[in-house]
Amino acid sequence: MSVNPVPKKREQPITINYMFKQWIAPLFFITVGAVIAAFALEEFLVPFTILDGGVVGISMIISQLSGLPLGILTIALNIPFMILGFKRLGIRFLIKAIYAMVVFSVFLGVFEDMQAVTEQEILVVVFGGVLLGVGVGLILRHGGCLDGTEIVAMFLSKNTEFSVGQIVLFFNIIIYGVAGFLFGPDRALYSLLTYFITSKIIDIVENGMEQGKSVMIITDHGKDIADAIYSQLGRTCTQMEGKGMVSNGKKTVLYCVITRVEVPAIKKIINDADVSAFMTISDVSEIVGNHIKKKKAPAHRKPASPVKH
């Protein structure tokens, strides 16, 4: 059975509502998140040499040893990862990530000379971790990024048996081990505790945006959508046949599993490719097997075959 060709890109009018949803509101919340994250670092963590994880943590170590501004180091060390993220997730991700880092760096300088909020280290760990989690969670939820470690972990996870979260944790353990060697074991332990608090708060702020997300797409153009997802994200889809209860027309149902940072990218694919598509995104509590792993794309891929019952 043949279907009408799907347009490669849907021209969406640039309205005030579109700009508000796609740019104004996300950039506002990214700004709020970057300010909160900068405040948490400078007013809680940095004065007590308690480190964040990832690139920010590496930047904090270099800043402590060299005296270079933390904001400048954060941007400089993240540049290669942002290029990697742009190739995978597109220009919208790159713009929001750069904006988040610039705002974050500016407010690191603003808060740098302010007096620490408290001298109690346990309060520093708890409230610094909570505020940092809130800030980073807001940024991630609205399509931005402060740290390129997760992007690297996504690429490494394709060819290993480890998840993105496990790889990020492994990186951070190395960072905290270096911190323990340079600044003392108590700094490393405080930093590790802060990391666990921050990661839990990020999950709460992101409203359940766990690493694994299942996507179900109901469309009239299953092959075109599946090919676009495969070519842009490297994710394969399972195709099933459905029937509209009102229209009585045949529908293609696609199912695939993606990572949380790929959610904005797959939304863009659907918005650009098919005005008739209906998509739901759900949480995945556990993934068994290698479905989430991205395989190297062959030169020519056979069309997806419907599931037979």
Average pLDDT over residues 34-62: 91
Residue 224 belongs to a domain with what CATH number?
A: 3.30.70.120
The per-residue pLDDT for 1 is: 43
Q: Are 30 and 145 part of one and the same domain?
A: yes
Structure tokens at 165: 């979260």
- Name the strand (E) or helix (H) holding 278: strand 278-283
Q: Give the position of tokens 């109901």.
A: 218
Domain count across the chain:
2
The number of angstroms, rounded, from the C-alpha of 89 to the middle of its chain's C-alpha atoms is: 10
Q: Are 184 and 223 part of one and the same domain?
A: no
What SS3 state is found at 171? Answer: helix
Residue 289 has pLDDT above 80, yes or no: no
The per-residue pLDDT for 301 is: 44
Q: Are 132 and 61 part of one and the same domain?
A: yes
Q: Are 217 and 196 part of one and the same domain?
A: no
Q: Are 136 and 260 part of one and the same domain?
A: no
**Domain residue limits at 26:** 16-205
Q: Are 91 and 54 part of one and the same domain?
A: yes
Q: Using alpha carbons, select from 42, 11, 88, 73 the residue that is nearest to residue 273.
A: 11
User: For the chain, what is the mean pLDDT?
Assistant: 80
Express each pLDDT in 219-260 by its tens digit.
888 888 888 888 888 888 888 888 777 777 788 899 998 877
Model-level pTM? 0.64
Q: Are 188 and 221 part of one and the same domain?
A: no
Express each pLDDT in 91-134 by its tens digit.
888 888 889 989 998 999 889 888 878 888 899 999 999 999 89
Q: DSSP for 10-57?
A: ------HHHHIIIIIHHHHHHHHHHHHHHHHIIIIIGGGTPPPSHHHH
Q: DSSP for 56-95?
A: HHHHHHHHHHH---HHHHHHHHHHHHHHHHHHHH-HHHHH
Domain end (from 170, 189, 205)? 205
The per-residue pLDDT for 15 is: 79
Q: Are 152 and 230 part of one and the same domain?
A: no
Within a domain: 301:
no
Interatomic CA distance for residues 62 and 52, integer angstroms = 13
Q: Are 146 and 56 part of one and the same domain?
A: yes
Q: Are 128 and 192 part of one and the same domain?
A: yes
Domain end (from 205, 232, 250)? 205
Of 74-78, 80-84, 213-217, 291-295, the poorest mean pLDDT is in 291-295
Express each pLDDT in 8-39 by its tens digit.
545 556 778 878 878 888 999 999 999 999 99
Say if CB 135 and CB 21 are below 8 A apart: no
Q: Are 67 and 155 part of one and the same domain?
A: yes
Residue 197 has pLDDT above 50, yes or no: yes
Rounded to 5 degrees, φ, ψ at 280 are: -120, 145
Greatest C-alpha distance within the chain: 71
Within a domain: 288:
no
